[in-house]
Amino acid sequence: PRSEPVRLAMDEFALFKGHRYATVVLDADTRQVLWVGEGRSRADIRPFFEWLGKERCARIEAVAMDMNTAFDLEVQAHCPQARVVYDLFHVIAKYGREVIDRVRVDEANRLKNDRPMRRIVKRARWLLLRNRDNVPAAQQPKLDELLAANQALMTTYVMKASLKDLWQPMTAWQWRAAWKNWLTMARTSNIDPLKRFANKLAPYWRGILA
């Protein structure tokens, strides 16, 4: 039957190995796959909006996506009423890659003269990237010991939890205060990857709030 979506979800996925991608668009309410196309550029995803048509595009209220500029711009061009929503999973995954991973590597390099601790930090990638609730009980003491022994990793780990809180229900004023507080703490930290991430994230605040 003809689909009449009100909210959409867009994402990219890898094709085979290497940097070849495709894009999938779903009806966010029914979870029905509406369209799949090779590529992830504006030109690559434009056929979806052309297929959807002006009438149905005008009814789209929101589109969930990662911080993909091509997706963002194409939605704005075709769905003037839609709000762009940056989803939690993608932002936190980006934080893991650009902040936690980078700090872990930097700390391992700094500890080159302390081989036992360096080995622990180097091997802690998945432990640090997992949500605490998903860390097996047997590994919880290892995580606590690691965070207690390394201030930079502790800071980035706690800041990840605070960042996730921005997706919790709250009033606009509460959100504004929480957002400004997170940005201030990140920017005044002595952790360069965290400061860089905060500065990159700042222009996207509307999509996080949405």
pLDDT tens for each residue of 102-131:
999 998 888 888 888 888 888 888 888 888
SS3 label, residue 153: helix
Is the pLDDT confidence value at 18 over 80?
Answer: no
Which 8-state DSSP code applies to residue 96? I
Asked if residue 180 and residue 103 are part of one domain, the reply reads yes
Tell me the per-residue pLDDT of 20-32, one tens digit each, with 9 for 90 and over.
999 999 999 999 9
Q: Find how far residue 105's CA is from the centre of its chain.
A: 20
Distance from first CA to last CA of the chain, Å, rounded? 30
| Nearest-angstrom CA–CA distance, 23 and 92 | 20
Asked if residue 122 and residue 58 are part of one domain, the reply reads no
Tell me the per-residue pLDDT of 72-91, one tens digit each, with 9 for 90 and over.
999 999 999 999 999 999 99
Tell me the per-residue pLDDT of 194-207, one tens digit each, with 9 for 90 and over.
999 999 999 999 99
Of the candidates 55, 86, 117, which is a domain's last residue? 86
Asked if residue 100 and residue 66 are part of one domain, the reply reads no
The answer to whether the beta carbons of residues 70 and 45 sit under 8 Å apart is yes
pLDDT for 138 equals 84
The answer to whether the beta carbons of residues 7 and 63 sit under 8 Å apart is yes
Is 116 within the bounds of a domain? yes
Six-digit token pair at 74?
């194409």
Q: Find how far residue 68's CA is from the centre of its chain.
A: 11
Asked if residue 172 and residue 103 are part of one domain, the reply reads yes
Of the candidates 34, 65, 86, which is a domain's last residue? 86
Q: Find how far residue 144's CA is from the centre of its chain.
A: 25
Q: Cα–Cα distances in Å, from 9 out to 60, 86, 91, 102, 169?
A: 11, 10, 15, 29, 20
Predicted structure pTM score: 0.85
Mean pLDDT of the chain: 92
Is 1 within the bounds of a domain? no
CATH of the domain at 24: 3.30.420.10
Using only C-alpha atoms, what is the Rg of the chain?
20
Asked if residue 110 and residue 21 are part of one domain, the reply reads no
| Nearest-angstrom CA–CA distance, 86 and 84 | 7
pLDDT for 112 equals 82
Buried b (16+ CB within 10 A) or exposed e, 191-204: bebbeebbeebeee
Asked if residue 194 and residue 100 are part of one domain, the reply reads yes
**Total structural domains within the chain:** 2
Asked if residue 71 and residue 116 are part of one domain, the reply reads no
Asked if residue 43 and residue 19 are part of one domain, the reply reads yes
Of the candidates 86, 118, 149, which is a domain's last residue? 86
Range of the domain at 115: 89-205
User: pLDDT band at 59, cuts 50/70/90?
Assistant: very high
Lowest-pLDDT choice from 14-18, 143-147, 148-152, 185-189: 14-18
Asked if residue 39 and residue 139 are part of one domain, the reply reads no
Asked if residue 111 and residue 28 are part of one domain, the reply reads no
